[in-house]
Copies of this chain bind each other. A is one copy, B any other.
Amino acid sequence: MNYSELAERLKPSELGMLLALADMPDVYNFSSGYPAEELFPLEEMEQVDREILRREGKLAVQYGSSQGYLPLREKIAARMKARFQADCKAEDILITSGSQQGLSLLGQLFLNKDDVVLVESPTYLGAINAFQINGPRFVEVSTDDKGIIPEKLDAVLQTTDRVKLMYVIPDFQNPAGVTWSLERRKAFMEIVNRHDIPVLEDDPYGELRYSGEPLPSLKALDTKGRIVFLGSFSKVLMPGLRVGWIAANPEILARVNLLRQSVDLQSSSFAQRQVAYYMDMFDLDAHVDQIRVLYRKRRDILCKAVKQYFPEGVTATYPDGGIFVWVTLPEGMDAKAISRRALEQKVAYVPGEAFYPNGGNGNHMRLNFSTMREDRIEAGIRLLGQILKDAL
């Protein structure tokens, strides 16, 4: 078979195999990106599903708008203000099948082969995969514990041609767990406005804060319509419905909508209503509060266990929110090699290398704390600590 250039860029990932192995029931699974399923509001969903069919009947299973179900877009616009401090109207919102689709659509709209996309170093693996199919060059911009470093970004922009898009995760970054300070957000917007590049702000975890004060999204600080915001219900409600959204200026959104029609027409009419009716009939804010209580506890237990059991010379972030802790091993240690031995002892994590599009940085690991019971988090970290001591 004679495939396209794009097809030749698709590589089966070692990570996919690791995630499959990690999914065994007796594995201490720190490699997941799943939300805690014990909090899914299943009884509420039974009421929601019935109500959808009673109130809307056939409309709920017929074709619908490619931009998305209007009452859901209205609720999201209100939530953009309440939760992300950004002014949006329903017509600024397009419903996607999860934020992965948002990443893919925006990558296609802005990136030609050999164009440059700027990303934080490290950055989200799913975004690397989504952009990769367009064949761009990834340029990584340094970050520290306050987020992206403005001087580094400015320097990259002054010396790099063909920068067409920048991708960032300012809240509880995946994988590094970092949250950008307000000063950094403002400095970032000043630079972006000066250099005139579109920015994709990915914020799937923004509502999951366990310490510190909420900060405005970049979208809230955007005065020139350059920020495209990606939101998702996967982490605050249920991921299997595949409902996320894009908030963007009308010119960009019109192109997203046209592309969407070619790509898959629309998101499930029923799934969009499942989210909208849930928000109507129940209290999503209260549900998010429940998630925050549970995840705060799990974060604290994981971070405490890391301090207690990991060998000296190993450092870890203490994230203010989200679902990941980022661990740095002493320079020269190989987190991937260790992950193979760890898996034999039934401990799984994601080696950090996967989050650097240009490779290298073999001494990091990403640990998830959203899916396991607290006692298993503690036992798993103790075991992983022993594995790390043996590897040293």
Cross-chain contact B37 with A164 (CB below 8 angstroms): no
Query: Among the listed B1, B133, B198, B239, which residue makes an inter-chain contact with A251, where contact means beta carbons less than 8 Å apart?
Result: B1
- How far is it, in angstroms, between the C-alpha of A112 and the C-alpha of B3 when the chains are bound? 9
Cross-chain contact B240 with A269 (CB below 8 angstroms): yes
Q: Please tell me how many copies of the chain the complex holds.
A: 2
> In this assembly, does A214 line the interface, its C-beta being within 8 Å of a C-beta of chain B?
no
- How far is it, in angstroms, between the C-alpha of A98 and the C-alpha of B62 when the chains are bound? 12
Find chain B residues with CB under 8 A from A267 CB: 97, 242, 268
Cross-chain contact A57 with B34 (CB below 8 angstroms): no
Q: How far is the CB of A381 from chain B (nearest CB, A)?
A: 24
Cross-chain contact B61 with A241 (CB below 8 angstroms): yes
Find chain B residues with CB under 8 A from A255 CB: 3, 7, 10
Cross-chain contact B112 with A133 (CB below 8 angstroms): no
Cross-chain contact A242 with B262 (CB below 8 angstroms): no
Annotate A60-91 by CB proximity to B: 1 below 8 A, 0 otherwise: 11111000000000000000000000000000
- How far is it, in angstroms, between the C-alpha of A315 and the C-alpha of B254 when the chains are bound? 39
Query: Among the listed B42, B63, B112, which residue makes an inter-chain contact with A57, where contact means beta carbons less than 8 Å apart?
Result: B42
Cross-chain contact A4 with B108 (CB below 8 angstroms): yes
Q: How far is the CB of A93 from chain B (nearest CB, A)?
A: 18
> In this assembly, does A25 line the interface, its C-beta being within 8 Å of a C-beta of chain B?
no
Cross-chain contact A45 with B53 (CB below 8 angstroms): yes
Cross-chain contact A101 with B164 (CB below 8 angstroms): no
> In this assembly, does A46 line the interface, its C-beta being within 8 Å of a C-beta of chain B?
yes
Give the interface SS of chain A, mostly helix, strand, loop or mixed: helix
Query: Among the listed B1, B259, B271, which residue makes an inter-chain contact with A252, where contact means beta carbons less than 8 Å apart?
Result: B1
Find chain B residues with CB under 8 A from A115 CB: 4
Interface centre among A198, A254, A269 (most CB of B within 10 A): A269
Cross-chain contact B37 with A58 (CB below 8 angstroms): yes
Query: Among the listed B11, B241, B259, B268, which residue makes an inter-chain contact with A240, where contact means beta carbons less than 8 Å apart?
Result: B268
Residues of A whose CB lies within 8 Å of any CB of B are 1-7, 10-12, 16, 34, 37-38, 40, 42, 45-46, 49-50, 53, 57-58, 60-64, 96-98, 100-101, 104, 108-112, 115, 126, 129-130, 132-134, 164, 198, 234, 238-242, 251-252, 254-255, 258-259, 261-271, 274
Known pairs A6-B112, A241-B270, A271-B271; list 17 more (Cβ under 8 Å): A4-B110, A4-B164, A6-B109, A7-B108, A10-B258, A12-B258, A34-B63, A50-B50, A62-B239, A63-B234, A98-B265, A126-B265, A130-B262, A240-B268, A240-B270, A241-B268, A264-B264
